[in-house]
Every structure is written in C-alpha cells, then in structure tokens.
Chain A
Amino acid sequence: MGSDAVGMLRDVGWESVLGIILIVAAAVGLTLLIQRFVPRFAEQVPGRYRLPVLATVPLFRLVILVVTIGLIVPIVIDPTFENLVAFLGAAGLALGFALKDYASSLIAGIVVVYEAAYRPGDWVSVGSGYGEVQSVGMRSMKMITPDDTVVVVPHQKLWTELIYNGNNGTQNLQCVANFYLDPDHSAVHARQLLHDVALTSPYLQVTKPIAVVVQEKPWGTHYRLKAYPVDPRDQFPFITDLTVRGKDALRSQGFQPARASALSESAAA
C-alpha cells in the first residue's frame, strides 16, 4: 500500500475498508454499551456516587470518538504533515459551508465536556426548558422535564444562551417553597415556624443551610423557604412536603393566607 499519484490518499483496498468498518462498528458498539450500562450501573451504586458515575458517560464518548478518528485517518491518508494539513483544511472548508451548525454543535459539545457546563444528572434550565440531563451526546444533550417530556438541546446553545445549572454535578440543589400570608401577623414567629417546617422534613439535607426570605408586598407578605433535599431527584416531593406541612403549621398557629380580593377592594376604594 503506497502513496498514489495524488500523494495524499492511500490505496484503500478491501482490507482497509473492512478495517474501517470494523473500527466504526466497534466504536458504535462500545458507545451503545456505555450509554446502556453506565446509567444502570449508576442506579446500583449508593446514591451519593450516582452523579459522578453518570458524568463519565460523555467523557467516554469523547475518548472513543478521538481514538476512532485516530485509527481511521492513517488508513485513509498517508499521515505526513503536508497531507494532514491539506486534509484538515479541505474538511474544514466543507464543514464550514455545509455543516456549519452541526460543526458548531460538535465543537460546543467538546467545550461542554471540558468546561462541564452540564453533565448527566444535572438539573438545568436552557431557554424555556427545565429538566434533568439524561445524556450528553456529540451534537446535543437530552433532558427530561418534570412532566416526563424529553427535550433535545443542541450544544450550540452554549454560545448564545444562558445555561442555568441547579446542582452542577453535586447532590446540592436548592429548592424553594413559597408562602403568601395576610400582612397582619408576627413575621418573627412565621419565619421561625417555616424554618422548623424545613428542619423537620424527612427529605432535608441537614448539613446544608435553611433560609427564609421575607418580602413585604402590597397584598401581603411573601415568604420564600429555601432548603436542600438529600437527592436532587426529590426536589418536587420535597417542595410538596414543605408546602403541605408549612400550610398545616401556619394554619394551626392562626396565620391567615393572603387574599387577593383585599387588594382589589382597596384599589377600588
């Protein structure tokens, strides 16, 4: 197998084609295996290790891709310096015109892995979508919304939009439960009561801080109870638990909820 008249491409015989097919098949098979096995494995390990294990999936995919390209290119072209420059230049020109957005997403995907903008297991908000990142592919990532809807987000959103990451690869995802009370009450008592509501939730991660933010509004007092669940996947049951027990506790202590009609009546007067 020597260089042909052009001087860049090798003579690609049936053996080389078969080799390329085998390499691609092995890469695809390995990728599918990792995508299928690692999330199952992550569900079997103790909860605190789930997210770090999930985060290795895009890393493995990138390594497989790089190794595959590294194995195929020398089969197709004679890997001298001049040939590589010519090949990459031609490929870049083609990608630049025809597959601009796709290439942009591919490059952004590499940057996502390096910067860890989001990883499997992260709860992110991109545009109008919010959900848990299920997988990070070459071109896009898939996330599942709280309503069990799969959203495919191209990586190139990284260039133009803000990516809000709620837990950033950790178990710490702050949750907020809102309460609206009639303004005629003791805010000190209400604040302490809501703090205890969070402190007594079975979902609570006790080593993380609990905060109660109080804001006075024209129609009443807005309380924002902020706390961390043990597992980010429990954020909605946690907020539900805080809301249900918070309402019960406030009512039992004589606190009245804010009434929208009071504002409309006073405005009319």
Chain B
Amino acid sequence: MRVQEGVSVLRTWIRTLPEALSRLWTGSETSSNSDKALQALPEENRLRPAPDALLDRIAPPPDWSEAVSALDTALRPWTTGSDDVPALVLMPGYHNAPPLLKLWAEVHTWTTIAPVPRPHIMQSAEAVESWFIERANSQTPWVLPRLERCYIRTPSGLAFVRRLLDHWTGGSLGRGIIGCDPHAWTYLQQVWAGAIPHCFVLKPFSANMLARWFRTLAELNRPDGAPPVSFHMADRDSPVLPERHEREHSTSTDVSGDEAPSPYLRMLAAYSQGDPNIAWLLWRQSLLTPADALPLNTEDAEQTAEKIGRAPDPKSEPRPIIWVPPWSDAEHPKLSHDATQRDTFVLHALLLHGGLSADQLCPLLPMNPYAVRHRLHHMHTAGIITQRGAEWHLTPVGYAAACDMLRKDAYLPDPHAT
C-alpha cells in the first residue's frame, strides 16, 4: 500500500511539474526558439492570421448533414422499435453548438419542443401544469434538444426537471428524445434517481480523425488543377496533416495504418475533448500565412518558403503552404492565471445550465451581484462567454477552456465514468 502511494505521488509530480513551473515563471518573458526565429524575420515576411476568404476555402464551415445521418443510424434501432422507452442524446451545450438533434427532428418531422421558460419554472405553477397537460395530450413524437435549460440550481428550481423526467420515463409524455450537455447530465443524475435505458454519446474525434477531417475540408473547395494545400508547423516545418497521397493508401477504418498524428493535433483533440466543432474553430483560428501571401492559385511553395527564410523541399511538388503555430504559442481564449474561485463558480453555473442571465445567475452564487457582473464582463472580454439577449453563454472555445479549468479544480467529474 505504501509503495502504491509513493508511485502515485511520483506520477503526480511528473504530471504537474511542467505546468506549475511555467506558472511560477510567468513573470519572466522568455521567447521560444520559434518566436525568436519568427521575430528575426523581416516585417513583410512574418506570419499573420489567414484572411477569411482563404479560411473559407481551406477550412470551410462544416456541413453537419453527415453527423445527422450518423445520429439517425444510431437511433434507428430505437425509432423503429415498438416500445416507447426514452432515449437520451448527450451533446455539448455551448453557444451555437451544432443543433444535430433539431436537424434530425426536422428530417423525421418530429416536433421540437421548448421547456417552460425559466422565470416560470419556479414562479408559475399554472404554466408548468399547462405544459405537462399539453404534452400529455399531444400524440406526436417530440424532441427536447436542451434538457439543461429545464431547471435552475435552487431547491425550488429542481421540481420541474424531476417531474419531466418522471413523466417521460413513465411514458405519459409519449415518444420523445431528449438532448443534454454531458456535464449537466452528470449533475442531473444526482438530482433525479432514475435511469435512462438508451443513452447515446457522440464519439469524440481522435487526433487521427481530426487530421483526416481537416484534410477533407481543405480539399472540398479546391479548384480543378490547383495544387493541394500543405499545412506545416511554423517552428519545425513538419507537416501537420497527412499528405493526400499517403492518405489515399490508408483505409479509413484502419486506424493502425494511419500516420502518427502531429503533437499539435493531439493537443487539439485533447483540449477540444474531441468535439469536432470546437476543434474546427480552434484550427481555423490557428492558420497563418505570410503577410504578403499571394492567393493560393498562384502561390507556390518555393516563394512561400523563401519569404519566411526556409529552404523548400526540392523533392516535393510545388504547393501552397499554410502555417500552424505550436500549440503553446497559439492564441486561445483562456482565463488568466489569477482566475479565482469566483470565476470557477460563474463558469460552472453557466456550463450546467446552458446559459443564464445575470439576474438568474446571482441568486445561485455566494457572491454579491456586483462581483458576479464584474466577472461576467471580464470573461466576455477574454472571449470565454458571449451574450445572446439577456443570457450569457459559453463560446465554443470558452467551453473547452472552462471544462479544462473546472476539471483541474475537480468541479467536473468525468461524465463518461458516471
């Protein structure tokens, strides 16, 4: 037992030493070798974020129809069955998250329903009662995309969601599918003692899957005859995505035949928790080109390489290069190192509820309202949250940053372990 404890402590030191040391030495500005190399370049050759027109070509907004088809395939054994056993689909609930469940409902002409508005959940028993009567009388199948918007974390704000889940699993609401954020569901499993027999979770994207997907996106809008784009690390000139000819020789289902993914993609997959939308946004934000880069259909690799001081590979065919900074140098919205427990509480509440207004948030937290609003504006400035109407929501990259922080501080148990 003592040996096991010693091994556990040793592992803790190995795991936490790099990050803690970096925090201790935050005050001293030390440039990485990549920064020094890039800063040594003339101004006109330094890398800049790629323009939107270029990004729309090499990293276009994804079409989620295939994801809806995959969801349909997973749900088909349940939807074609005769029983009304409820089904739950777990999907992250950040601002502008892909509405897969809603799109699936449109395809199958199921009704997308909204819960009782939050102000009525605690204050209007009539609104709650009429909502349940309406649902019980309706015979059409339905979809409720965001269960985390059906409660407020107060003693009196849990009654509606408990009653909803009881009626749903009891069959009195008819056939329905409910969607929920995985972290909110972990909390709701403590609130409601029941069980859902059919629970679907979107498979997280691994680094290899992200590499294949980004490559596919980059070639989606490639004009005929134009060379394929290469993506290289800005510090080491190593490829980030597998080249097209190597990808063609590996089968899509043969994971062992894939190249080892680059460290950048491994970090991206871990930080985004495998969420493809978050990974795509971070990927798109990271892409860099030289300041005076020509349009892709006229640029060649030699010109690009010469501009940033690197020799081109004489064996490769000329192709445009897009540069990707090392993960540690990439600019992501993140909380400052002096983030306090107040920030933790605000982020945790916004995560569990899928967004809240300041008036709804203040009673949930042991802070005065001025402190709450101050933290909200601070996080808004940092890009962690955004405001839609009166409500504050986590942005996609803010969702990743918030989950990372909350997990480290032990506020988020693993949703897939419960």
Q: Which residues of B contact A53 (CB under 8 A)?
A: 9, 12-13, 16
Apart from A44-B19, A47-B410, A231-B410, 8 more pairs, CB < 8 Å: A53-B12, A193-B155, A197-B155, A200-B153, A200-B154, A207-B190, A230-B411, A245-B155
| Contact B408 A47, beta carbon cutoff 8 Å | yes
Q: Which residues of B contact A234 (CB under 8 A)?
A: 341
Main secondary structure of the interface of B (DSSP, over half): helix
Q: Which residues of A contact B155 (CB under 8 A)?
A: 193, 196-197, 199-200, 245, 249
CB distance from B362 to the nearest CB of A (A): 12
| Contact B191 A40, beta carbon cutoff 8 Å | no
Q: Does B132 contact A (CB under 8 A)?
A: no
Q: Which residues of B contact A45 (CB under 8 A)?
A: 12, 16, 19-20
B24 touches which of A44, A46, A245 (Cβ 8 Å): A44
Q: Does A241 contact B (CB under 8 A)?
A: yes
CB distance from B190 to the nearest CB of A (A): 5
Q: Does A206 contact B (CB under 8 A)?
A: yes
Q: Does B364 contact A (CB under 8 A)?
A: yes
B403-418 vs A, Cβ < 8 Å mask (1 yes, 0 no): 0000011110100001
* A interface, size bucket: 35 or more
Q: How far is the CA of A203 from the CA of B410 in the complex (A)?
A: 11
Q: Does B186 contact A (CB under 8 A)?
A: yes
Main secondary structure of the interface of A (DSSP, over half): helix
A230 touches which of B19, B24, B410 (Cβ 8 Å): B410
A46 touches which of B2, B156, B348, B408 (Cβ 8 Å): B408
A residues 221-269 near B (Cβ < 8 Å) are 230-231, 234, 237, 240-241, 244-245, 249, 252
Q: Which residues of B contact A245 (CB under 8 A)?
A: 155
CB distance from A220 to the nearest CB of B (A): 21
A44 and B153 contact, Cβ closer than 8 Å, known pairs A53-B13, A196-B158: no
CB distance from B222 to the nearest CB of A (A): 43
Q: Which residues of B contact A31 (CB under 8 A)?
A: none
Give the interface of A toward B (CB within 8 A): 40-41, 44-49, 52-53, 55-56, 114, 116, 171, 193, 196-197, 199-200, 202-203, 205-207, 230-231, 234, 237, 240-241, 244-245, 249, 252
Q: Which 10 A-B pairs have the closest CB atoms?
A: A46-B408, A196-B155, A44-B20, A45-B16, A48-B410, A47-B409, A44-B23, A52-B12, A200-B153, A249-B155
B204-229 vs A, Cβ < 8 Å mask (1 yes, 0 no): 00000000000000000000000000
CB distance from A193 to the nearest CB of B (A): 6
Q: Which residues of B contact A252 (CB under 8 A)?
A: 156
Residues of B within 8 A of A (CB-CB), count: 35
A40 and B24 contact, Cβ closer than 8 Å, known pairs A46-B16, A199-B191: yes
Q: Does B366 contact A (CB under 8 A)?
A: yes
Q: Does B128 contact A (CB under 8 A)?
A: no
Who on chain B is nearest to A248 by CB? B155
| Contact B348 A202, beta carbon cutoff 8 Å | yes
A-B contact pairs, 30 of them (CB 8 A): A40-B24, A46-B19, A46-B408, A47-B408, A49-B12, A49-B15, A49-B16, A52-B12, A53-B12, A53-B16, A56-B9, A114-B2, A116-B5, A196-B155, A196-B158, A199-B155, A199-B158, A200-B154, A202-B366, A203-B366, A206-B186, A206-B187, A207-B190, A230-B411, A231-B410, A234-B341, A240-B366, A241-B366, A245-B155, A252-B156
| Contact A41 B24, beta carbon cutoff 8 Å | yes
Who on chain A is nearest to B405 by CB? A46
Q: Does B196 contact A (CB under 8 A)?
A: no
Who on chain B is nearest to A48 by CB? B410
A52 touches which of B8, B348, B366 (Cβ 8 Å): B8
A237 and B24 contact, Cβ closer than 8 Å, known pairs A53-B12, A171-B410: no
| Contact B12 A200, beta carbon cutoff 8 Å | no
Q: Which residues of B contact A205 (CB under 8 A)?
A: 410
Q: Does B85 contact A (CB under 8 A)?
A: no
Q: Which residues of B contact A249 (CB under 8 A)?
A: 155-156
CB distance from B410 to the nearest CB of A (A): 4
Pick the most buried of A46, A55, A114: most chain B CB atoms within 10 A of its CB: A46
| Contact B158 A200, beta carbon cutoff 8 Å | yes
